[in-house]
Amino acid sequence: MKIFNSTAIRQIDAYTIEKNHIKSIELMEVAARSVFEYIIQHYDIEKKIIIFAGQGNNGGDALALARLLHIAGFSIKVITVFLSDNLSDDCETNYKALLNKNIPIYHYSIYLELNIKEDYLIIDGIFGTGLNKPITGKLADMIVYINSRNCEIIAIDIPSGLPSDGVTETNPIAIKATITISFQFPKISFFFAEYESFIGKWILTNIGLDKEYIANKETNFYTITKERIQKILKKRSVFSHKGTFGHCLLMNGSYGKMGAGILSAKACLRSGVGLLTTHIPVCGNTVMQIAVPEAMTYTDMQELTLTSVHDNINDFDAVGCGCGIGTAIHTQKMIHNLLLSTNTPFVLDADALNCIALNNWKHLLPKNTIITPHPKEFDRLVGESKHNGERLQKAILLSKQLTIVIILKGAYTRVVLPNGKVYFNTTGNPGMATAGSGDVLTGIIAGLRAQKYDAIEASLLGVYLHGLAGDYAKEKYSEKSLVATDIIENISEAYKYIL
């Protein structure tokens, strides 16, 4: 699914109105009705509702909603947040339609006198995506008051005061919604941790914007969808053999951290790779052969850590490295030698990235390498960021500079491509914030890379599978008790869903 910035959304609105010969007020009615349908499906008619409506089109949506709720029999009050007499045309039309309807309408200046109680439902239609400056003064006081009431709040399209096009400030004065009902597309800001408490749960409603124009409209932001993944997934010939699906080398584990190597190996095999060799220190050989009998082992010359590159590194279809290897000096030298030794596709995670960061070896990363850092690992590579928006911009720049794919792990894991495009993953859940989850992801992506998926395909398919397997594990075990092994055990369920 495409994600557009606020300017592009206004262009799509305008094109839809012009091409389909509809009035903007009619499109506003469709938007208001979509929120109305949600409310009547989720709330009893006895629910008391207070609607805050601004003087722009977001306020027009709210006023149209007020009329629909009043007709349906809900008890409503309308608070107009009009800062001047200069209302948008459609807002003014919907405001006039409420007059003489026996609906209580108040100016926002008396909001403190309304005695808003916890059992009220508040509708936020004060500001939409057009707001381009922080909220201050009396309006800021009002928003702080609204948030303090502990009411359920439904934000129309976006919580008032929240930037729509990404993180620009970490603690804005904005409505803290329970539900955000967004029209047609999610907003870019929905995918950043800094704004979770403002957005609440977000849902999309289709308001009928022009499909052809959307399909042709350029953007750099997307969500990963099942349909996109189905197009990536390769079919298996009945004449396939294990060599058809590639030979992956995983260089993971050290004394005390062989679990990382085992998890990565198991996940790699579940990804569908034909053959797997694990390059491990001597101390891990027995446990690896017992825990992962399907994998072959190649032991390093060192007892406790990795110090060397496989003698036949060029014979492999992909190399995954970094899970639990540590950052000892001889391991750092091994990483340096690895980066210079082969053109075999790399998937690098964790301590491989830490070794690179310690020595500023980013420039040695071969083109089409995939790196899978969590935020702290990425910051070690490029320097600390003030917020996730800045971190994403740094990732976009680094991906372009080095022609690599960067997978920024976390909620809505971001896949950053060298062409500047960013894909947000919508599978996964908080239960996956557990030890070994990243090792599983590395194994999956390395296995896919060995199966001749290119760097972009392996990254998109890998993060989607990983999150989806976590979602199946959540259903079986709950978020609170989920462990990395549960993710591995549900990769097959994720594949079945995609197929």
Task: Give per-residue pLDDT as tens, 40-70.
Answer: 999 999 999 999 999 999 999 999 999 999 9
With 90 as the cut, is the pLDDT of residue 441 above it?
yes
CATH for 179: 3.40.50.10260
Same domain flag for 198 and 69 = yes
**Residue where the block lists tokens 């490295």:** 321
What is the rounded CA–CA span in Å between residue 270 and residue 473? 15
Same domain flag for 234 and 185 = no
Q: What is the mean pLDDT of residues 352-363?
A: 99
What is the rounded CA–CA span in Å between residue 254 and residue 252? 7
Closest CA to 180 of 106, 223, 133, 128: 128
What is the rounded CA–CA span in Å between residue 91 and residue 79? 14
CATH for 275: 3.40.1190.20
With 90 as the cut, is the pLDDT of residue 169 above it?
no
Same domain flag for 245 and 199 = no
Question: Which tens digits make up the pLDDT trace of 109-165?
Answer: 999 998 899 999 999 999 999 888 899 999 999 999 999 999 999 999 999 999 999
Same domain flag for 208 and 73 = yes
Same domain flag for 135 and 270 = no
- Which pLDDT value is given to residue 319? 99
- Which pLDDT value is given to residue 249? 99
Letter for the amino acid at 20?
N
Residue 472 burial class via C-beta count within 10 angstroms: exposed 0-12, middle 13-18, buried 19 and up: buried
Q: Hey, is 88 helix, strand or coil?
A: coil
**Model confidence at 299, in pLDDT bands (50, 70, 90)?**
very high
Q: Which residues of 177-201 are buried (b: 16+ CB within 10 A; e: fewer)?
A: bebbbbbbbbbbbbbbebbeebbbe
Number of domains in the chain: 2
Chain-centre distance of CA 376, in angstroms? 17
- Which pLDDT value is given to residue 393? 98
Q: What is the mean pLDDT of residues 323-333?
A: 98
Q: What is the mean pLDDT of residues 269-279?
A: 99
Q: Which residues contact 11 (CB under 8 A, 6 or more apart)?
A: 217
For the chain, how are helix, strand and coil distributed in percent, rounded to 5? 45, 15, 40
Other Cβ atoms less than 10 A from the Cβ of 145: the count is: 13
Same domain flag for 432 and 455 = yes
Q: What is the mean pLDDT of residues 370-399?
A: 98
Domain end point (choices 203, 219, 235): 219
With 90 as the cut, is the pLDDT of residue 100 above it?
no
Same domain flag for 268 and 299 = yes
Domain end point (choices 157, 192, 219): 219
Same domain flag for 158 and 236 = no
- Which pLDDT value is given to residue 114? 87
How far is the CA of 300 from the CAs of 4, 85, 311, in angstroms?
A: 49, 77, 10
Structural tokens at position 242: 């294990």
Q: What is the CA radius of gyration of the chain?
A: 26
Q: Which domain holds residue 193?
A: 2-219
With 90 as the cut, is the pLDDT of residue 446 above it?
yes
Domain end point (choices 219, 253, 278): 219
**Model confidence at 168, in pLDDT bands (50, 70, 90)?**
confident
Same domain flag for 41 and 133 = yes
Closest CA to 321 of 340, 330, 304, 334: 334
Backbone dihedral angles phi then psi of residue 149, each to the nearest 5 degrees:
-80, -15
Structural tokens at position 472: 């199946």
Mean pLDDT of the residues in the chain? 97
Structural tokens at position 223: 């969500």
What is the rounded CA–CA span in Å between residue 395 and residue 378? 8
CB-based contact 157:164 (threshold 8 Å) = no
Q: Is the dihedral of CA 248, 348, 396, 392 positive or negative?
A: positive
Closest CA to 398 of 435, 371, 374, 426: 371
Q: In this prediction, what percent of the chain has a pLDDT beyond 90?
A: 97
Q: What is the mean pLDDT of residues 392-413?
A: 99
Same domain flag for 359 and 430 = yes
Same domain flag for 263 and 154 = no
Given its phi and psi angles, is residue 370 left (phi above 0), alpha (psi -120 to 50 degrees) or beta?
A: beta
Same domain flag for 338 and 468 = yes
- Which pLDDT value is given to residue 67? 98
